[in-house]
Amino acid sequence: MAEDGGGQRTVPLGEQLRLYREGLRLTQTDLERLTKVKREYISSIEMGRIQVIYPEVFNLLKKVLRFPGWVLLEAMGYETDSVAGEAGGLNPALVAAVASLSDRQQRALLEFLLASTRLGDEGERAEAPTEFLAVTRKRGRYAGRRSES
């Protein structure tokens, strides 16, 4: 990670792009097919050989990978006035993933996160709330196991 002028640590452009691409379970070839941006160019960005991308490429990648624009702009060294960019430690891919959820799914996720941070006296992990399990199982995203009591 690099440090910006304000002492904040930023994730390099290539690493950000790779995180978003892998988060959607896309290969570089898949991304080429969806954006018409050459796989070699995508690879060069991810390897750090290209550190600033053209607006046309930026817009194609943004549309397919569904990331907030400030993420890659900040990774390229541009200053933005995004409050989310100053959220201190929030992974931009996580922010984008949550933003892609419906309101119902976001509420269920929040309920799950709040419940999972509450620990009992012996430090046991909280169970995922029923609403979260129902919403995420429909989408095939919950890989957790419910413990037997």
Domain residues for the domain of 29 are 2-99
Examine the pLDDT at 124 and tell me if it is beyond 70.
Answer: no
Nearest to 48 by CA among 25, 24, 76: 76
On whether both 13 and 86 belong to a single domain, the answer is: yes
Examine the pLDDT at 144 and tell me if it is beyond 50.
Answer: no
On whether both 108 and 95 belong to a single domain, the answer is: no
On whether both 118 and 91 belong to a single domain, the answer is: no
Q: How many residues does the chain have?
A: 149
Q: Which residue has the higher pLDDT, 149 or 63?
A: 63
Q: At 88, give phi and psi (nearest 5°).
A: 60, 80
Q: Token match 């006296």: residue?
A: 121
CATH (domain of 10): 1.10.260.40
Q: Which of 37-46, 67-76, 97-106 has the highest mean pLDDT?
A: 37-46
In a domain, 147, yes or no: no
On whether both 15 and 74 belong to a single domain, the answer is: yes
What is the 3-state composition of the chain as percent helix, strand, coil, each rounded to the nearest 5?
A: 55, 5, 45
pTM of full prediction above 0.75: no
In a domain, 146, yes or no: no
On whether both 16 and 42 belong to a single domain, the answer is: yes
Predicted confidence band at 123 (pLDDT cuts at 50, 70, 90)? low
Domain count, the chain: 2
Q: Which residue has the higher pLDDT, 128 or 11?
A: 11
